[in-house]
Amino acid sequence: MPPNPLFLMTTRKKIIAGNWKMNKTSAEGVTLAQDVVAAVGKQSDVEVIVCPPFTAIEAVGKALEGSNVKLGAQNMHHEASGAFTGEVSAPMLRAIFATHVILGHSERRTYFGETDASVNKKLLAALKNQLKPIFCIGETLAEREAGSTLKVVQTQVEKGLEGVSKEQAPTVVVAYEPVWAIGTGKVATTEQAQEVHAFIRGLLVKLFGDAAAQKVRILYGGSMKPSNAPELLAQKDIDGGLIGGAALEARSFVELVTAAAAVK
Ligand code: 13P
């Protein structure tokens, strides 16, 4: 039977990305990466990405060599080089074979003063250097309680993706991470998550047209773990997860990959 073009158009490979945050020395990171590679390094049903801290990233990259597990960073500066003490750039990340970079994580926004405008500069620089951004957005508890979740998310999407072309859009990965669900054990209900994911998809359609928007992977992040993942991952517009705590142990991270692979 010939493939159904409509089906092909809307099939998005799921992503399970581990954000290790400020955890793991280089040696610990290599051990974790080796365990992940041993378990899921050969499968290709799910795109698996690990994002170690900068000190571990090169060694982890070497441990991933020859596997299907991809390497991401957790942040970068928008300039290519220069007098920016403590920063790293997109070309530096490319040089150690990183393929992805997390941008605009709520912890960066809250503790390090990142704004929609600064995240946008980084995102454009990442795309220019063929790095795929994992672009994080999400509302705080106060914003949700005030009923402004969708408005907040809309502003973050519109400002963060300003200047991105229709052609570039499908390489952007969006991560919806309600701030109140991060590291708290409080996961969004599937309805809460799907509602926002569908809303984000609608915004992407307006910005980039339907064909490009249908290709964008929108990940959920915030206390995702093997017990709650299957239900979240089964939602129409939830294309994977950005995982914090559960990515720090191979066993739970691998279980998440297995859960994503099981969703049809
Ligand atoms: P937790 O999975 O620990 O809640 O963290 C989510 C996150 O912030 C991933 O970027």
* CB 70, CB 108: distance < 8 Å: no
State the Cα–Cα distance between residues 122 and 131, nearest whole angstrom.
11
Backbone phi, psi, residue 53, to 5°: -70, 160
What is the predicted pLDDT for the residue at 106?
98
Atom 5 (ligand 1) nearest CA: 244
For residue 57, report the distance from its CA to the centre of ligand 1, in Å: 19
Which atom of ligand 1 lies at the shortest distance from residue 225's CA? 2
CB neighbours of 151 closer than 8 A, spacing ≥ 6? none
For residue 178, report the distance from its CA to the centre of ligand 1, in Å: 10
Atom 1 (ligand 1) nearest CA: 244
Q: Kindly report the CATH number assigned to the domain that includes residue 227.
A: 3.20.20.70
For residue 202, report the distance from its CA to the centre of ligand 1, in Å: 25
Pocket test for ligand 1, best of 101, 108, 177, 249 (most atoms within 8 A of CB): 177
State the Cα–Cα distance between residues 40 and 38, nearest whole angstrom.
6
Mean pLDDT, the chain cut into blocks of 10 residues (264 residues total): 51 97 98 98 98 98 98 98 98 98 98 98 98 98 96 98 98 97 91 97 98 98 96 97 98 98 90
What is the predicted pLDDT for the residue at 8?
45
Atom 2 (ligand 1) nearest CA: 244
The boundaries of the domain holding residue 13 are 5-262
What is the predicted pLDDT for the residue at 264?
75
What is the predicted pLDDT for the residue at 10?
62
**Ligand 1 binding residues, C-beta < 6 A:** 19, 105, 177, 182-183, 221-224, 242-246
Structure confidence by residue, pLDDT tens digits, 156-193: 999 999 999 999 999 999 999 999 999 998 888 999 99
Q: Catalytic amino acids?
A: 105, 177
Which atom of ligand 1 lies at the shortest distance from residue 224's CA? 2
Domain count, the chain: 1
What is the predicted pLDDT for the residue at 24?
98
Determine the length of the chain.
Answer: 264
For residue 215, report the distance from its CA to the centre of ligand 1, in Å: 24
